Amino acid sequence: MELEKLQKIITEVLNVHVSEVNPDTTFVDDLGADSLDIFQIIMGIEEEFDIEIDADDVENIKTVQDAIDRIRDAE
């Protein structure tokens, strides 16, 4: 369930096709996200999942799976 919600957030922010977003996808290398894009994705995650992600944790979120793990840890 987290993956589908996360895919929706990522595709809206980065304007990519959902097929490009899987757990192994990296935000920067695979999707071309810059720091503003990542900030928008993190804000979307926080709003969608009603969690707060520390700035220190954001630096460690490199892949979609990293984001899923962070969401699961916060729930």
Catalytic residue numbers, as ranges: 34
The string over 19-44, giving b where at least 16 C-beta atoms fall within 10 Å of a residue's C-beta and e elsewhere, is: eebeeebebeeebebeeebbebbbeb
Cα 39 to Cα 47: distance, rounded to the nearest angstrom? 12
